[in-house]
Amino acid sequence: MKKLKVAVMISGRGSNMGSLARAAMDPDYPVEIVLVLSNKPNVEGLNLAQQHGLPIRVVDQTTFDSRDEHELAVTQALQEAGAELVCMAGYMRILEDAFVNEWRGRLINIHPSLLPSFTGLDTHARALERGVRIHGCSVHFVNNELDAGPIIAQAAVVVEPNDDESSLAARVLEAEHELYPRALKLIAEEKIRWTGDDSVRDNNATADDVALLK
């Protein structure tokens, strides 16, 4: 089976990267993880990647004079690894336009809310404050606007009356770990495609493929 070569970009814990790595251990999963790249040294996710036997690379943002120079080095590392698609998984840095343009249509992210609600940070606290009854997570293509690229798949999580930020975050994270490998598989199998006009086209993807109800 021809596998899609994927790099995962992290900045911390790396639990979503771990869920992709576990999925990729299945010989029938259509993805090979060719690199785990972090913009920060010594983060937990790098150890986890090594435990999975994955190649790691740190491109430390503090050693570059500008964001553009840092991201050029990131692109170079991703290209050297032969990445055909890049998954951001807790990569906590807003990307410059040049990087996004370079990888457009080949760059996806997981975000802990049902987009387009609650872009940005502290999504669980804001969801609770706003009193939403259903929360969740989204996998989307990355474009030049923060958390606004075309949506690939979403998982919905019911907000319980006694939820606090950490209980809700934990259930959403569990949903993320199920959703991200599924969404990535849809792309690898070309069931979902990014189209040049910044939207997605479902190509044999079913409602069950793209919408997960927890």
With CB under 6 A, what is the number of residues at the site for ligand GRF? Answer: 14
What is the DSSP-derived secondary structure letter of residue 84? Answer: S
Number of neighbouring beta carbons within 10 Å of residue 106: 17
111 in active site: yes
112 binds ligand GRF (CB under 6 A): yes
Q: Of the listed pieces 58-66, 108-116, 141-149, 183-191, which binds ligand GRF according to CB under 6 A? A: 108-116
**In the stretch 78-107, what mask flags binding to ligand GRF with x, by CB under 6 A?**
-----------xx-----------------
Q: Of the listed pieces 32-40, 64-72, 109-117, 183-191, which binds ligand GRF according to CB under 6 A? A: 109-117
Rounded Cα distance between 57 and 68, Å, is 18
Which residue's CB is nearer to ligand GRF, number 14 or number 150? 14
Rounded Cα distance between 182 and 209, Å, is 7
The beta-strand segments (E) located in the chain are 4-10, 31-38, 56-58, 85-88, 107-111, 134-141, 151-158, 192-195, 199-202, 211-213
Phi/psi at 46 (nearest 5 deg)? -70, -40
Shortest Å distance, C-beta 140 to ligand GRF: 11
**In the stretch 144-183, what mask flags binding to ligand GRF with x, by CB under 6 A?**
-----------------------------x--x-------
Peptide bond into 116 cis (omega under 30): yes
Q: Which residues pair with 194 in a beta bridge?
A: 200
Q: Site residues (CB under 6 A) for ligand GRF?
A: 10, 12-16, 45, 89-90, 110-112, 173, 176
Residues annotated as catalytic are 111
